Structure 1
Amino acid sequence: MSDSPKKEEAEKQPEINIEMETPATEEATVPLSGEEPTKKETSGTTKGVVGVLGSFKWLSLCGDAPLITDKLDHAIDESKTRVKRAFYYLMHFLDVTGRNFGQVCFANNPISGFLILAGLAVGDPLVALCGFVASTVGIFFSLLMQQPRGSIRAGLCCYNAALFGAVLPALALGPNPWAEPLTVWICVVLGSIFTVVITVSVANSLSSLKPAIPLFTLPFNLVALFAVVVLRVHHQAQQPTRVPNPDFDWMHLVEGSFLGAGQVFAVQDLYCSGLVLFGMLICSPVLALAGFFGSLVGTFLGAAVSANLWNAAYNGILGYNAFLASCAVCFFYVPTWRSFLVAFLNAALTVIVQVALGWAFADTALPVLTLPFVGASLIVLGMTAEKEALPRSMAPLTFPEQHRAKWLQDARRESVQSTDTNTHP
């Protein structure tokens, strides 16, 4: 009898349901860039970006375009007919193609990529066509070799192929062509395959390093330099004639800084540069501004070195490596005033390396391509500091604005935890 009140009291107590919070399932893929691991998230991707891009649904087309990713992820499985299935396969292909061109400038966004491709078509249709063909060959070769779908989807496998396809015809079939068109097309197809092979093999070797080392455009440089040498074996290129130094003009320097965006793809055209910057602006205003001001620093610094470099400065040639170098720092480091300072220092270092390599390659007439950007950026990204002073962007890498939002969120969480620890010992 004495136990019955206790039993009744226990029955009246509310049932406490404790649920463990389970993390969203993630499918990790091989980080083919060494520093750019990609993760395929569930439908919560869009929710995670709302705090950065705002509550408007159309803004989810910015950044890494989570709206497009979410829509295409289940479209093929939900399609009932072969026509719809083929249509969504085509949409997937176009999504990857756009990201291939965007990833050259660290913009993982298909809209940005197709704006860049449109800029290439405006500047030189042949460059755009060769870049598209190289990107397509790279995609199909990556699928044939069964590379991680997440890396292919993010454009990490084939962005070097897209860049190679765009730059090689601009070099060999430009205003002063020095190679046969058929030979260049063969090099574009074969070279795009080799860029994928080098990207995958070298990235697998470097992915074990802590922190992992990004490849940047190293595969493109290796394949492009060998392709230029092979093409010149059969058709000797003429040495460029010396052009007299022009008069110094501040406005031409500003114009050259603007042209640096298009010169990333070896296209000297204002409309092309404008579309490249606009595409990057859709993905990340931080990247667009960092790239332009990096090109500005590189162009003005290079022009200050020697009057012999004024032509290169006016044409945007001194700006494109600095453009990429500044973007790289603002992508791999969380955007702060210190990271912007480091970005502009990296742009300056890149121009110094470019001038030195240009002088060293002068006798062979080989292009420096993006080797200055790769070399200088690898050095600068090895710099460390206090976590709060120069924080690195944490994986999965998306775009600078979200990197900063995640960093601020983690800093607030650590601050709250430390406060709770101090108040409740």
Structure 2
Amino acid sequence: MWMESKREVEEASRSRASFSRRLLNSLLLCNGDMEHLDEYMQDKLFVLQLAVWGLRGVTRVILANNPLSGALILAALFWASPWQGLLGTLGVLASTLTAVIMGQDSAEVTGGLHGFNGMLVSLLMGVFSSAGDWYWWLLLPVCLGSATCVFLFSGLSSLFDRWNLPVTVFPFNIIIILYLLCTGPNNPYFPHHRVTPPGALEPNATELLAVQVIRGIPLGVGQIFACGALGPSLLILGAVLLYSPLLAVHALLGSAVGTLAGLSMAVHHHFLYSGLSGFNGALGCMAVGGLFFTFSWRTHLFAIASAFLSAYADIALSNMLGTMGLPACSWAATLTATLMLLLTGSLAAYRIPIGQVRAPECNLLSHSQWKAGNTLERESTDV
């Protein structure tokens, strides 16, 4: 009797252990780049493949590459605004289909590299449009602008590849500025809001609310997708966490650094509360903190410096472009990350070749294996 009860307890503990192991393995299959999904989708319908490519393109906006994270981000956008969610979906599909028709590199298409610029263009067109939601004429420039991103991406790639640099969101920043310059605030078909320089706003008349400032830190992650609602922003942060916990930490850290930079420059409280002060800092910190550089204490400090530089550059560019009624978009983080990748010296040893960039944890593991292999090789050649 006692032996039977003991055997039952052991079997129950083994079953619980096996269930926990299966659950952990399932979770591990869902994070990172999910490369196994590409092999599974090879013989599936084109529509299903296009959906996966598009979802990867969605996550490329936050420097990730995970279709499940892309699904979470799309859900967050539809939660915040169904109209913005529709525009974002249309933008990523238009640019991805254009890349397929143009015969762009299949690895770039399947990895979502031709989708994220189109998505950003469509989202920002919707944000700056003064015609309101569900203005169907806006779908025309959304499709054209998203498709044009593919041409710019392809052309800039041949130039940037010489220095082993990523094109990132240069096409988006160029297209959205050209669109706003072409239309203008009083355009009868595609009017948009005129941007006011932060320095031209009225001085802060009320005292600073610490709770609102803290709330603005996760909103800074959401503002990467032009999302200013707290719930959807937390869901977007969760999507980053699913892809890479290390990248999520740097996203929050960069947004906090950007908010601190805004406080030091006494920017208008609206920019602090809405997360607009933090999103360039978040992008700059994520780019350096484990994505394009192997994570270490040196690159971690380097990522914080990149976040500060991105945030201060954003304030300066916002004041300069705002005089023409134009937004600074993500020019600050894009230029800062490109500058960081061009640096030489000891930090250059931590830089990851563009073709080998994966999730930060995978980059860290690959770097450790490479160092171990080099050590063994040196020891074997010693006489």
Identify the residue that residue 63 of structure 1 maps to in structure 2.
32
Identify the residue that residue 124 of structure 2 maps to in structure 1.
167
**CA 1:120/1:239 → structure 2, altered by over 3 Å: closer, same or farther?**
closer
User: CA shift at 1:371, angstroms?
Assistant: 0.6
**CA 1:420/1:98 → structure 2, altered by over 3 Å: closer, same or farther?**
same
User: CA shift at 1:242, angstroms?
Assistant: 4.4
**CA 1:236/1:369 → structure 2, altered by over 3 Å: closer, same or farther?**
closer
- The 8 Å contact of residues 95 and 115 in structure 2, kept in 1 or not, is answered as yes
CA–CA distance in structure 2, aligned partners of residues 197 and 238 of structure 1:
28
> Out of 58, 71, 74, which is 1:114 matched to?
71
Identify the residue that residue 225 of structure 1 maps to in structure 2.
177
CA–CA distance in structure 2, aligned partners of residues 390 and 418 of structure 1:
18
> Out of 202, 205, 213, which is 1:253 matched to?
213
Q: Over residues 61-91 of structure 1, what are the superposed CA-to-partner deviations in whole Å (9 max), with x where a residue is unaligned?
A: 2100123122112x33xxxxxxxxxxx3222
User: CA shift at 1:125, angstroms?
Assistant: 1.2
- The 8 Å contact of residues 61 and 67 in structure 1, kept in 2 or not, is answered as no
**CA 1:179/1:229 → structure 2, altered by over 3 Å: closer, same or farther?**
farther
- The 8 Å contact of residues 112 and 282 in structure 1, kept in 2 or not, is answered as yes
Work out whether 1:202 is the aligned partner of 2:159: no
User: CA shift at 1:316, angstroms?
Assistant: 0.3
Work out whether 1:386 is the aligned partner of 2:350: no
The secondary structure found in structure 2 opposite 1:208 is helix
Q: Percent identity?
A: 24
- The 8 Å contact of residues 100 and 156 in structure 1, kept in 2 or not, is answered as yes
User: CA shift at 1:328, angstroms?
Assistant: 0.8
- The 8 Å contact of residues 138 and 161 in structure 1, kept in 2 or not, is answered as yes
Work out whether 1:352 is the aligned partner of 2:309: no
Identify the residue that residue 92 of structure 2 maps to in structure 1.
135
Larger-gyration structure (1/2): 1
Query: What amino acid is the match of 1:156?
Result: L
CA–CA distance in structure 1, aligned partners of residues 332 and 202 of structure 2:
24
CA–CA distance in structure 2, aligned partners of residues 180 and 269 of structure 1:
19
CA–CA distance in structure 2, aligned partners of residues 55 and 302 of structure 1:
41
**CA 1:346/1:151 → structure 2, altered by over 3 Å: closer, same or farther?**
same
Identify the residue that residue 190 of structure 1 maps to in structure 2.
144
Gaps of 5+ in 2: 1-22
Gaps of 5+ in 1: 1-53, 77-87
- The 8 Å contact of residues 253 and 300 in structure 1, kept in 2 or not, is answered as no
User: CA shift at 1:392, angstroms?
Assistant: 1.2
CA–CA distance in structure 1, aligned partners of residues 195 and 244 of structure 2:
40
**CA 1:410/1:305 → structure 2, altered by over 3 Å: closer, same or farther?**
same
The secondary structure found in structure 2 opposite 1:207 is helix
User: CA shift at 1:57, angstroms?
Assistant: 4.8
Work out whether 1:309 is the aligned partner of 2:261: no
Q: Over residues 307-341 of structure 1, what are the superposed CA-to-partner deviations in whole Å (9 max), with x where a residue is unaligned?
A: x4322011100111111111111210001111111
User: CA shift at 1:384, angstroms?
Assistant: 2.5
CA–CA distance in structure 2, aligned partners of residues 124 and 59 of structure 1:
31
User: CA shift at 1:202, angstroms?
Assistant: 0.8
Identify the residue that residue 215 of structure 1 maps to in structure 2.
167
- The 8 Å contact of residues 95 and 118 in structure 2, kept in 1 or not, is answered as yes
User: CA shift at 1:147, angstroms?
Assistant: 0.8
- The 8 Å contact of residues 128 and 193 in structure 2, kept in 1 or not, is answered as no
Identify the residue that residue 339 of structure 1 maps to in structure 2.
299
- The 8 Å contact of residues 257 and 319 in structure 1, kept in 2 or not, is answered as yes
Work out whether 1:271 is the aligned partner of 2:231: yes
User: CA shift at 1:140, angstroms?
Assistant: 1.4
Query: What amino acid is the match of 1:132?
Result: T
CA–CA distance in structure 2, aligned partners of residues 415 and 55 of structure 1:
33
> Out of 26, 29, 51, which is 1:94 matched to?
51
Identify the residue that residue 318 of structure 1 maps to in structure 2.
277
CA–CA distance in structure 1, aligned partners of residues 337 and 117 of structure 2:
17
Query: What amino acid is the match of 1:391?
Result: Y
Work out whether 1:411 is the aligned partner of 2:371: yes
Identify the residue that residue 293 of structure 1 maps to in structure 2.
253
Query: What amino acid is the match of 1:270?
Result: L
- The 8 Å contact of residues 222 and 232 in structure 2, kept in 1 or not, is answered as yes
Work out whether 1:158 is the aligned partner of 2:112: no
Report the TM-score, using the length of structure 1 for normalisation.
0.78
- The 8 Å contact of residues 339 and 390 in structure 1, kept in 2 or not, is answered as no
Work out whether 1:147 is the aligned partner of 2:104: yes
Q: Over residues 122-170 of structure 1, what are the superposed CA-to-partner deviations in whole Å (9 max), with x where a residue is unaligned?
A: 1111111001011111121111111111110001112100111122101
User: CA shift at 1:260, angstroms?
Assistant: 0.6
The secondary structure found in structure 1 opposite 2:148 is helix
Query: What amino acid is the match of 1:60?
Result: L
User: CA shift at 1:372, angstroms?
Assistant: 0.8
User: CA shift at 1:359, angstroms?
Assistant: 1.2
The secondary structure found in structure 1 opposite 2:114 is coil
User: CA shift at 1:417, angstroms?
Assistant: 1.6
User: CA shift at 1:271, angstroms?
Assistant: 1.3
User: CA shift at 1:348, angstroms?
Assistant: 0.3
Work out whether 1:123 is the aligned partner of 2:80: yes
User: CA shift at 1:111, angstroms?
Assistant: 0.6
CA–CA distance in structure 2, aligned partners of residues 293 and 285 of structure 1:
12
CA–CA distance in structure 1, aligned partners of residues 334 and 60 of structure 2:
15
